[in-house]
Structure 1
Amino acid sequence: MKKLIVLACALLGGFALNAQVVTPQPSPTSKLEQKVGLTDVTVAYSRPSMRGRAVFGDLVPYGALWRTGANQNTIVTFSDDVKIGGKELKKGSYALFTKPGKDNWEVMFYTDTNNWGTPQEWDESKVALKTTAKTFKLPFEVETFTIDVDNLTNNGASLGIVWENTYVEIPFEVPTQEKAMASIEKVMGGPQGGDYYAAAVYYLQEGKNLDQAQEWIDKAIATQKEAPFWMLRQKSLILAAKGDKKGAIETAKQSLAAAEKAGNKDYVKLNQDSLAEWGAK
């Protein structure tokens, strides 16, 4: 009996050690994902609430560096280079730090995102971009700290920070026109060398129209300054599949020479094996 009691106590003690109390977070995490033009914008942050407290100028002092949220850094990610306040910010992820003021805020995009709160030692060299943002007084109070992407257009938007009765606007521009024009020019300009190559290889593999495959592989090769050994290899296979053994051997020799020049042993062997198979001299 004594042993059973000891065992039961041990089991209960182990359960107590492993049990975890689950309660709501005081400042729950949030993740915002927004497409602006052709650019992906993501904001990951924690959301404290007022809970009867005065916020700006009290809980969050004016002129003091703030993590712009709670807990871990607020992290803003741009998939493209953007412009903020006329200055360029490279694509990537940044910790968003601010110094709130009565009339405007100082806003900093910091390259080190691995901080809990503000950095113990501020490194000015890690500030990728610094700008000043306007503040606006709201005619009502917002209980929970919120970051949103507002004023969406094809070419930009604003990071909007809202809490208590304050709204802060951080406008940014995205390179939609450059990306859209590049896409239009590429598509309207017709297929590229890689497109012709992929289509030719597919037709060869599926045994489809080999004359068409040869036309496409020739166009793919024509887009190159120097015919790549892998394109020449596929052309030799297409010619062999068409029964043009002489053309296949000639092209395989070109591919072999290019592969040797590039130091690609795999393609050297592939071409040597094919040339032997086709009875090349």
Structure 2
Amino acid sequence: MKKLFLSAFALLAINFASAQITTPQPSPTSKLEQKVGLTDVTVAYSRPSMRGRAVFGDLVPYGEIWRTGANQNTIVTFSDDVKIGGSTVKKGSYALYTKPNQGSWEVYFYTDTNNWGNPEKWDDSKVAAKLTAETYQLPFEVETFTIDVDNLTNNGASLGILWENTYVEVPFEVPTSEKATASIEKVMGGPQAGDYYAAAVYYLQEDKNLDQAQEWIDKAISMQKEPPFWMLRQKSLIQAKNGDTKGAIATAKQSLAAAEKAGNKDYIKLNQDSISAWEAQ
């Protein structure tokens, strides 16, 4: 009887240990993705709710560093370098920390994102940007902590922090003008060496208009200060396929010399084999 009781108890314990109950998170996670100009901005954070509690000045004390959310770090990611509070912030991910005060907040973009809440020891050298942000009193209450990207323009936006009856605006600038200008100049300036090279190789592979392929590969090579061995290799193949064996041998020898200089054994052998084959014709 005792053995039967122990067996039943063990079975119950195993079933209890293996049971998995799924319940809602008190502060559910959220991920916001927003394109600002030409820059991708992502915010990943947890969202606590008021639940009848007074928040700022009580649950979140004034004058103390706050994780700006719940659980692990609130992380803001920029796909380009941006400007925040007069500082250039390199593209990448940052933990968002704040120090709420009445009337204004101090906002910090912190390079160490692997903290659960506040760092054990605050390190000023890890502050990529800091600014004092304005706060606004809302005419209504926001039950659940919210971060949004507001005031969108081509050149910037604001991280909007909302909770209780407070709105905090954290403006930032993105490099849309520089990126758009560079893109326009590149396209309007015509194809680049890589474009001519890719087109020439495609025509070679598809056996299409080898004269045109020759023109494109010559254009690509002319745009190089020191033509790379792999580009010269393709030119030699185009010449050979187009019946210019003498030219193909001369170009292959240039590719061979460049490959030897670069220490690329594969292209050394490819060129040596081709030169031998073409000279034997």
Instruction: Name the TM tier (shorter chain).
Output: over 0.9
Aligned length: 281
- The AA in structure 2 aligned to 1:157 is A
Name the residue aligned to 2:44: 44
Name the residue aligned to 1:59: 59
- In the alignment, the residues of structure 2 paired with residue 193 and residue 4 of structure 1 have an alpha-carbon distance, to the nearest angstrom, of 82
Q: State the shift of 1:221 in Å.
A: 0.2
Q: Which whole-Å deviations, capped at 9, do the CAs of 1:198-250 have from their partners, x for residues lacking one? A: 11011101111100100000000000001211111000000110111111111
3-state SS of paired residue (1:160): strand
* Stretches of structure 1 lacking an aligned partner (at least 5 in a row): none
Name the residue aligned to 2:103: 103
- In the alignment, the residues of structure 1 paired with residue 6 and residue 221 of structure 2 have an alpha-carbon distance, to the nearest angstrom, of 81
- The AA in structure 1 aligned to 2:72 is Q
Q: State the shift of 1:6 in Å.
A: 6.5
Kept in 2: contact 1:41–1:79 (CA 8 A): yes
Name the residue aligned to 1:120: 120
- The AA in structure 2 aligned to 1:262 is A
Q: 1:2 to 1:277 in 2, by over 3 A?
A: farther
Name the residue aligned to 2:175: 175
3-state SS of paired residue (2:139): strand
- In the alignment, the residues of structure 2 paired with residue 8 and residue 247 of structure 1 have an alpha-carbon distance, to the nearest angstrom, of 89
3-state SS of paired residue (1:151): strand
Q: State the shift of 1:279 in Å.
A: 2.0
Kept in 2: contact 1:147–1:160 (CA 8 A): yes
Q: 1:87-236 residue pairs with structure 2 within 5 A? A: 87-236=87-236
- In the alignment, the residues of structure 2 paired with residue 84 and residue 61 of structure 1 have an alpha-carbon distance, to the nearest angstrom, of 25
- The AA in structure 1 aligned to 2:133 is A
- In the alignment, the residues of structure 2 paired with residue 3 and residue 221 of structure 1 have an alpha-carbon distance, to the nearest angstrom, of 86
Kept in 2: contact 1:252–1:271 (CA 8 A): yes
3-state SS of paired residue (1:278): helix
3-state SS of paired residue (1:190): coil
Q: State the shift of 1:262 in Å.
A: 1.3
- In the alignment, the residues of structure 1 paired with residue 271 and residue 28 of structure 2 have an alpha-carbon distance, to the nearest angstrom, of 62
Q: State the shift of 1:192 in Å.
A: 0.2
- The AA in structure 2 aligned to 1:247 is G
Kept in 1: contact 2:85–2:129 (CA 8 A): no
- In the alignment, the residues of structure 1 paired with residue 65 and residue 85 of structure 2 have an alpha-carbon distance, to the nearest angstrom, of 20
- In the alignment, the residues of structure 2 paired with residue 149 and residue 160 of structure 1 have an alpha-carbon distance, to the nearest angstrom, of 6
- In the alignment, the residues of structure 1 paired with residue 7 and residue 230 of structure 2 have an alpha-carbon distance, to the nearest angstrom, of 71
- In the alignment, the residues of structure 2 paired with residue 69 and residue 121 of structure 1 have an alpha-carbon distance, to the nearest angstrom, of 19
Kept in 2: contact 1:108–1:130 (CA 8 A): yes
Q: Which whole-Å deviations, capped at 9, do the CAs of 1:79-129 have from their partners, x for residues lacking one? A: 111111222111110000000011000000000000001011111111111
Kept in 1: contact 2:133–2:168 (CA 8 A): yes
- The AA in structure 1 aligned to 2:254 is Q
Q: State the shift of 1:11 in Å.
A: 4.2
3-state SS of paired residue (2:93): strand
Q: 1:210 to 1:4 in 2, by over 3 A?
A: farther
- In the alignment, the residues of structure 1 paired with residue 279 and residue 13 of structure 2 have an alpha-carbon distance, to the nearest angstrom, of 81
Name the residue aligned to 2:72: 72
Name the residue aligned to 1:255: 255
My pick for the range that moved more, 13-22 or 240-249, is: 13-22
My pick for the range that moved more, 104-113 or 18-27, is: 18-27
- In the alignment, the residues of structure 1 paired with residue 91 and residue 273 of structure 2 have an alpha-carbon distance, to the nearest angstrom, of 47
3-state SS of paired residue (1:230): helix
RMSD: 1.6
Kept in 2: contact 1:249–1:280 (CA 8 A): no
- In the alignment, the residues of structure 2 paired with residue 74 and residue 217 of structure 1 have an alpha-carbon distance, to the nearest angstrom, of 50
